[in-house]
Amino acid sequence: GAVVSQHPSWVICKSGTSVKIECRSLDFQATTMFWYRQFPKQSLMLMATSNEGSKATYEQGVEKDKFLINHASLTLSTLTVTSAHPEDSSFYICSARVNRTANYGYTFGSGTRLTVV
Amino acid sequence: GEDVEQSLFLSVREGDSSVINCTYTDSSSTYLYWYKQEPGAGLQLLTYIFSNMDMKQDQRLTVLLNKKDKHLSLRIADTQTGDSAIYFCAETLYSSASKIIFGSGTRLSIRP
């Protein structure tokens, strides 16, 4: 089945540094990938939609200069949290739509837990 | 607007059936999904139903859709300890097939 690999699974960084999270589709091409943020005991909040070869579409309230998204190939999208602060600590999850399925199915990565100290 | 609501907690005895409920507001839903999230992990698609269906059964899972009341439920038969997780109801809309909207999640706990 369709697999999305997300890396790293967890990261601790110092305030002011940048962190890059990668999301790869392993056995399919993903023209569109999605980045979510999840606070403890809360639902997933869509941050942005990443489109291969074009600019990402950000949801209202999400700072595009803070959360840089790059989708340079059909199998890789990256999210870079720039100048991270403790309030950016969260669980970040990517997903991709598997176009070949009939149910608009979405496959999710395993998530990245970011802790900013 | 787009809104998907679920109750936050459910506790059931091992071996009993679990029923997790979800309501949504947008009548233009195309697909409705149930995802399972175990601690510290991503989301696993359990099952889905197309909006013109009333019911779908897959082994221990039964999904019921009442489109008139905009109500979706997931029944897990013979609930086991491994079913402990957070269950998210989600929908995609006809107007925006790329966007998936999640409910708040229901934390299912199993007691012996």
DSSP string covering A22-88:
EEEESSS--SEEEEEEE-TTS-EEEEEEEETTS--EEPTT--TTTEEEEEEETTEEEEEE-S--GGG
Answer yes or no: are the C-beta atoms of A4 and A109 closer than 8 Å: yes
CB-based contact, A115 to chain B, within 8 Å:
no
Give the span between the Cα atoms of B80 and B60, in whole angstroms. 11
Cross-strand pairs, B111: B13
> What's the whole-number mean pLDDT along residues A70-91?
94
Query: Which residue out of A44, A49, A57, A99 would a mutagenesis test of the B interface target, given it has the greatest number of B Cβ atoms within 10 Å?
Result: A44
Residue A50 has pLDDT above 80, yes or no: yes
> What's the whole-number mean pLDDT along residues A56-66?
93
Q: Which two tokens stand for residue B104?
A: 């708040």
pLDDT top residue among A93 and B31: A93
Answer yes or no: are the C-beta atoms of B64 and B109 closer than 8 Å: no
- Name the band, by pLDDT with cuts 50, 70 and 90, for residue A6: very high
> What's the whole-number mean pLDDT along residues B81-86?
95
pLDDT for B17 equals 97
CB contact under 8 A, B41 and A111: yes
The percent of residues in chain B predicted with pLDDT above 70, rounded, is 94
Cross-strand pairs, B110: B12
Cross-strand pairs, A90: A114
A positions 84-113 inside 8 Å of B (CB): 91, 93, 95, 97, 103-111, 113
B positions 65-84 inside 8 Å of A (CB): none
pLDDT for B1 equals 53
Quote the mean pLDDT of chain B: 89
CB contact under 8 A, A111 and B31: no
pLDDT for B94 equals 64
pLDDT for B69 equals 92
CB contact under 8 A, B104 and A110: no
Q: Which of B40, B45, B108, B36 is nearest to A96 (CA)?
A: B45
Amino acid at A32: T
Residue B63 has pLDDT above 80, yes or no: yes
CB contact under 8 A, A43 and B88: yes
pLDDT for A64 equals 93
CB contact under 8 A, B43 and A44: yes
The Cα of B100 is separated from the nearest Cα of chain A by a number of Å equal to 8
Give the span between the Cα atoms of B6 and B47, in whole angstroms. 17
- Name the band, by pLDDT with cuts 50, 70 and 90, for residue A69: very high
> What's the whole-number mean pLDDT along residues B73-97?
88
Quote the mean pLDDT of chain A: 89
CB contact under 8 A, B45 and A111: no
- b (16+ CB within 10 A) / e for A15-26: eeeebebbbbbe
Q: Rg for chain B (alpha carbons), in Å?
A: 13
Residue in B with minimal Cα distance to A43: B104
Amino acid at A63: E
Q: Give residues with Cβ within 8 angstroms of B1, minimum separation 6.
A: B25, B26
Which DSSP letter does residue A54 get? S
CB-based contact, B102 to chain A, within 8 Å:
yes
Burial of residue B72 (CB within 10 Å: 0-12, 13-18, 19+) is buried
Which tens digit of pLDDT belongs to each residue from A82-110? 999 999 999 999 998 776 555 557 888 99
pLDDT top residue among A31 and A47: A47
Give the span between the Cα atoms of B20 and B75, in whole angstroms. 6
CB-based contact, A11 to chain B, within 8 Å:
no
CB-based contact, A42 to chain B, within 8 Å:
yes
